[in-house]
Amino acid sequence: MSDRGLQDLGDGCHAWLEPPGCWGFANSGLVVDGGQALLVDTQNDMRMAQDLRAAIDGLVGRPVVDQVVNTHGDGDHWNGNVLFSDATIIASEPTLADIRGHWLDPSKIDDYAIGDNAFAEFMRWRQCVFDYTGWRPVHPNQTYAGELALSVGHREVELSELGPAHTSGDTIAWVPHAGVLFSGDLLFTASTPIMWAGPLSNCLDVCDRILALEPRVIVPGHGPLIDAAGVRPVREYLAHVQGFAVESYHAGRSPAEAYQAIDLARYADWPHLSRTYQNIRLVYRELDPERFTADVRETLDLVYGDDHGSWRAIGDA
């Protein structure tokens, strides 16, 4: 497993890794030059964000974080904005909308933690594992559409909006001179990806667009660093789920039946395989949007319930 903390990727680029990369343990990225710094994603809870902030302050030259990019609207990538509220905080327009209307920000966890189901139990786990003391919503204050080129000192960082895929407005940050890509949750490594917005076919296209950049190092949203070759297992998994879900739909299986029937033996060492249920539902929704509407609470009850061994183990650690 990778070490927690800041890793120097060369050419002014750094990764902040949060092993084990499971639910709520997200990575961040940093580009530094000429005393300036651009931060990609700000961590899930206040303790994680404070540790990240301290590590940046400890870098030689004490760079000023004057630009922040939120890759998408899930809280584990923007809750820490409160520690960087003086910066220009940039996101795509759909991501800003997701953040403004987020159904599961930290202020709502206590309410969701009441009940006798896997979803509520997971929320109680979050109350124990994460520290949201002092959290308040700090939203992006600059949006873009399509592409945006940013400067950090003399270095260039290119933002591209590749959603809808994981969420409605996913952004990648590409540092061409260094060959470093910050992918957000368009890529999970060494674990099962979960896609919320889709369509899954676009998630496959995203993998191809990332491969076409020929990155030297990829900092995924969750999990260890990879190179371009590390994208291929993710792409293969998504294609496998897509193919089986389409076949199952036409065979008259329900999403739950397809989830029970899919052969995931090739991915047996990936944690969180229950996320496959959501990925299957996404394919069904694309095929018949009126019948297979998004019911995130019902979906998460099954996904968390079938995955309880992996997240409970962290609370015990």
Binding residues for Zn ion, rule: CB under 5 A, are: 26, 74, 76, 185, 221
44/276 with CB nearer Zn ion? 44
29/179 with CB nearer Zn ion? 29
Question: Alpha helix (H) ranges present in 45-153?
Answer: 46-57, 93-100, 109-112, 118-129
Q: Minimal distance in Å, beta carbon 44 to Zn ion?
A: 8
The structure tokens 């020929």 sit at 214
24/179 with CB nearer Zn ion? 24
Burial of residue 221 (CB within 10 Å: 0-12, 13-18, 19+) is buried
CA dist., res. 186 & res. 188, Å (int): 7
Q: Minimal distance in Å, beta carbon 71 to Zn ion?
A: 9
* Side-chain-facing half-sphere of 144: CA atoms under 13 Å: 22
Q: Minimal distance in Å, beta carbon 75 to Zn ion?
A: 8
178/200 with CB nearer Zn ion? 200
CA dist., res. 203 & res. 275, Å (int): 15
Q: Minimal distance in Å, beta carbon 269 to Zn ion?
A: 21
User: What would the two tokens of residue 106 be?
Assistant: 């930290």
Find the helix or strand (DSSP H, E) in which 218 lies.
strand 217-222
Q: Minimal distance in Å, beta carbon 261 to Zn ion?
A: 28
51/185 with CB nearer Zn ion? 185
